Structures are given as structure tokens and as C-alpha cells.
Chain A
Amino acid sequence: MNISAQTGDGLTAQHLLDVRDLTVFRGDRLVLDGVSLHLDAGEAMILTGPNGAGKSTLLRTIAGLRTPDSGTVIRKTELAWLGHQDALKPGLTLSQNLALAVKLGSGSLEEALDALDLTTLADLPARLLSSGQKRRAAFARVMLSGAPLWLLDEPSVGLDVASIDRLGAVMATHRQKGGAMIVTTHVPLPLGEARSHELPSLANVEPLWLS
């Protein structure tokens, strides 16, 4: 059980992320069973699997929000996180909501807003935004972080076709710059060439106390 942001032993230079034999329990239920994957610079990986297969749990464990029950996560770079929820405060304007990300990250607010077509909404309170606009605002936060590794949990929820294309363009630019991303999704995303990793559903595995 070891999460480390430093260079691990026996790691080839270009691996941004190396996950080995990750096992996670939730309560007494097995959610992830020996998951191994690795990610290089410029790569995108799509996590697929039925509901409850542990896609979000895997992302949270890679991010370090959750400690794995066994296995290792070796991460060599900073990461940016897009969760289920948009984490926007309804009373603050869009740009106020992003202020912390601007201060802690290295991206430019104008560029991020422009790329996601949010410039005209920057001074609107977040409670007036539609769910698709909120989702784009949350995505802008990922761009602002300037981190090479993006962990995106269902980035396209609530987005229209034009916005999904815009997202695709942003993600392609990020990969060209040497960034990498792991994406969970149920709808096809314009990711270009991407590896996909299927998580099996473990819903029918008996709980520990029965076996």
C-alpha cells in the first residue's frame, strides 16, 4: 500500500502513471480486483464498464482521495480532477468560482474560458448557469490547473454536441502538449486514438463473509 508522487523503481521514463494490482473494498464488497494499468505522455485512456463496476472508485484511488486496500499507484506528475459534481458555489460568479484554480494553477483564465465558449458568462452567478454550462465551467478548472495528468469522471454529462466537440478539441490540444488523461464515459467522446480499459462488474462476487 503505497502512493507516491515521486519516481518509482523500475519505471520507464515516459510513464506518467503506473497502477499495479489495485484492490479496493467498499465495506465488505470487492469493487476493484487487481486492476493494473499504465499511462504514457500524450495518451488517453477510456474507462468503460457497467454501472457500479468501480470506474469512479478507480479514479478516486488514482487521485489519492482513497487509499487502496492493496496495490500501488505510482504517479510522477501533478493531476487535475473533474468529479461527478461541478463544485461551483451558486452565489459566486463563474470567474470568482475559478479564482482558487487560477491562483494555484498555471493556466490562463481567458484562454480556458475562450476555449470552452464561456467568456460571455464569466460574470454571471453560477446559479443562473445551465447544467451544461456548469459542466464546462468545471472543465475550465481542469484546464487552469496546468497539470499534465487529467482524471475526468464523465466530463460530457449534460453537454450538447457542439460543446462535446469543443471538449474534444481541448483534450486533443492537451495531448499534443504531452498531457495524458483517464476518462470515464458512457457516451462516445471525440478522443481520437485512445486506449480503452474495461472494468468487469463485480456485483455478483460474494461478499467476504459468505465465502
Chain B
Amino acid sequence: MTAFLALIDRDLRLAFRFGADTLASLLFFVLCGSLFPLALGPSPDLLRHMGPGIVWVCALLASLLPLDRLFGSELEDGSLDLLMLTGLPPSAVALAKMVAHWLTTGLPLLVASVPLGIMLGIKGSELPLLLGGLALGTMSLSLLGGMAASIVLGARRGGVLLPLLVLPLATPVLIFGAASSYAGQLGTSSAASLDLLAACLFACLPLCPLAAGQGLKAAVG
């Protein structure tokens, strides 16, 4: 457990030191979201209807950005060998990196989705539901993304392959996530979609680190 926490701590320190990565995906998120009013027209009604969907799609794309470097930089400079020899099982190493990815990408995205949501005209009363759904959804996205990143590790053109692997796997998260966020507008209950969103998370939680651990083992072997 000490080693697990030490790995997360190390990654957080690295992320603070190289803040540009986190900042880049945040700016991408906000910029991407601000393009929609330009393309769809400034009708407040339209934007309010599209708002939750726009936030979800942008969050999905923004969380993909840092994945390429998640294990790639560790493999390049030889740190991955050392991480694999810390005595932790490979899946625990992968899980630590995924947790760090959520803390440095998912969490900032949650914070940035508040101004983006307000900009798109989402009502204050609908925001908590959006944030709750996003919190569950971004956790699943970090797990799925980390798994895909470790699988393409060492492959040529891995960066291109990565979105092709993650996006189809992320569709359930997107569907249930957006459905939960629309419940406020449509006046329906969000319970079912949130349950399914949480179910996605609890399916990813054991499976993704296991698969990612195998990917890491293959990459260093």
C-alpha cells in the first residue's frame, strides 16, 4: 500500500512540475466547448438543450489527450522498468497511474465544466447532476484510457490507435452519462442512468487494471 501511494504521489509531483499537460487538456476542453456556439448559432434555447451533451463529448475528448504520455514517457526513459520492479503487481502499477490520471485530468475537467456549463446556459439547479455524472464518468474514462494506453504501449503509431480503441469502449459511459445529465431538463428521474454509469465504473475498476497490467508486462518484456 505504501508503494501504491508513493507511486500516486510521484505522479502528482510530476504533473505539478510539468503543469503544461494538465493545462493543455483543460484549455482544449474549454475551447472545444466554446466552438459549438460559433457553429450552431447563439440561440440560448438551442445551446441549453445541447449543453450537457456538448460538455460530455468535450470531456471525453479532453481526457484522451494526456493518455499518450501516461505510460509512453515512462517507457522511453526507462522509468517503467523501475516501476515494475517496485514489488507491486503490474496491475497495481497500472491502477496507480490511472488514479493519478483522474486526479490530474478528470478532477480539473470537473471544475472547468462549471464555467463551460454556465456559458452554455445550463441552469444552476442542473449543475450538481451534471457534475455527479461527470465524476463517475471521468473515473471510468481514466480506467478505460489507461488500459488502452498500456495496450498500445510500444506499438508504432500508438497515438493514432489510442482513440480508435478508447472511443468505442467509452460509448456506454457517454450514453448513460449524457442521459443522466438531461434528466433535469426533461423532468425525468436520473436514477437509472446514474446507476448504469456507476455499474460501468464498477465493471472497469477490476477489469481495466488487470488488462493494463498485462499490457505493461508485454511492453517491458
Q: Tell me the A residues contacting B by CB distance below 8 Å.
A: 60, 63-67, 78-79, 81, 83-89, 91-92, 96, 99-100, 103-104, 141
| CB interface residues, B 66-110, toward A, < 8 Å | 77-79, 81-82, 84-87
- The reply to whether A65 and B85 form a contact with Cβ atoms under 8 Å apart is yes
Q: Are A81 and B82 in contact (CB under 8 A)?
A: yes
Give Cα A67 to B82, complex, Å. 16
Whether the Cβ atoms of A67 and B78 lie closer than 8 Å is no
11 A–B contact pairs at CB < 8 A? A67-B221, A78-B87, A81-B85, A86-B77, A87-B79, A87-B81, A87-B82, A89-B77, A91-B18, A100-B86, A104-B2
Chain A residues closer than 8 Å to B3, beta-carbon distance:
104
Cα of A141 to Cα of B86 in the assembled complex, Å: 12
Q: Tell me the interface secondary structure of chain A in the complex.
A: loop
On whether the beta carbons of A79 and B13 are closer than 8 Å, the reply is: no
* B6 touches A (CB below 8 Å): yes
Q: Quick check: is B157 within 8 A (CB to CB) of the other chain?
A: no
* Closest Cβ–Cβ distance, residue A23 to chain B (whole Å): 15
Q: B76: nearest residue on chain A (CB-CB)?
A: A85
Complex Cα–Cα for A67 and B221 (A): 7
Main secondary structure of the interface of B (DSSP, over half): helix
Which of A63, A64, A83, A92 sits near B78, CB closer than 8 Å?
A83
Contact of A100 among B6, B17, B18, B87 (CB under 8 A): B6
Could you say which of B6, B7, B79, B84 contacts A65, with CB atoms under 8 Å apart? Answer: B84
Report A-chain residues with C-beta under 8 Å of the C-beta of B82. 81, 83, 87, 100, 141
Which of B's residues lie within 8 Å of A, judged by CB? 2-3, 6-7, 10, 13-14, 17-18, 77-79, 81-82, 84-87, 220-221
Q: How far is the CA of A106 from the CA of B10 in the complex (A)?
A: 18
The answer on a CB contact under 8 Å between A92 and B86 is no
Roughly how many angstroms separate A88 CA and B7 CA in the complex, as a whole number? 15
Would A84 and B78 be within 8 Å (CB), given that A89-B14, A92-B14, A104-B86 are in contact?
A: yes
Q: Contact: A91 with B17, CB < 8 Å?
A: yes
Our pick among B2, B18, B81 for the contact of A83 (Cβ within 8 Å) is B81
Q: Which of B10, B17, B77, B84 contacts A85 (CB 8 A)?
A: B77
- Determine which of A67, A81, A99, A104 lies in contact with B81 in the assembled complex, contact meaning CB atoms within 8 Å: A81
Once the chains are docked, how many angstroms separate the CA of A81 from the CA of B220?
13
Residues of B within 8 A of A99 (CB): 10, 13
Tell me whether A96 and B13 are in contact in the complex, defined as CB-CB below 8 angstroms, given that A65-B221, A87-B77, A87-B79 are known contacts.
yes
Bound CA–CA A65/B10 (angstroms): 22
Docked complex Cα distance between A103 and B87 (Å): 13
Minimal Cβ-Cβ distance residue in B for A61: B221
Contacts of B220 in A (CB 8 A): 60, 65-66
CB distance from B140 to the nearest CB of A (A): 28
- Assembled-state Cα–Cα distance A11/B40 (Å): 74
Cβ contact within 8 Å between B85 and A104? no
Most A CB contacts (10 A, CB to CB) among B17, B81, B84 go to: B81
Chain A CB count within 10 A is highest, among B13, B78, B84, B220, for B78
Query: Known pairs A87-B79, A89-B79. 12 more at Cβ < 8 A?
Result: A65-B220, A78-B87, A81-B82, A84-B78, A87-B77, A89-B14, A100-B6, A100-B10, A100-B82, A100-B86, A103-B2, A141-B82
Q: Give Cα A80–Cα B85 distance, bound, in whole angstroms.
A: 8
In angstroms, Cα B220 to Cα A85, docked, is: 13
A66 to chain B, nearest CB (A): 4
A192 to chain B, nearest CB (A): 27
> What residues of A have a CB within 8 angstroms of the CB of B85 in the complex?
63-65, 79, 81
Minimum C-beta distance from B24 to chain A (A)? 16
Contacting residues, chain B, for A88 (C-beta < 8 A): 77
Instruction: Provide the residues of chain A in CB contact with B79, threshold 8 Å.
Output: 87, 89
- Neighbouring B residues of A83 by C-beta, 8 Å: 78, 81-82
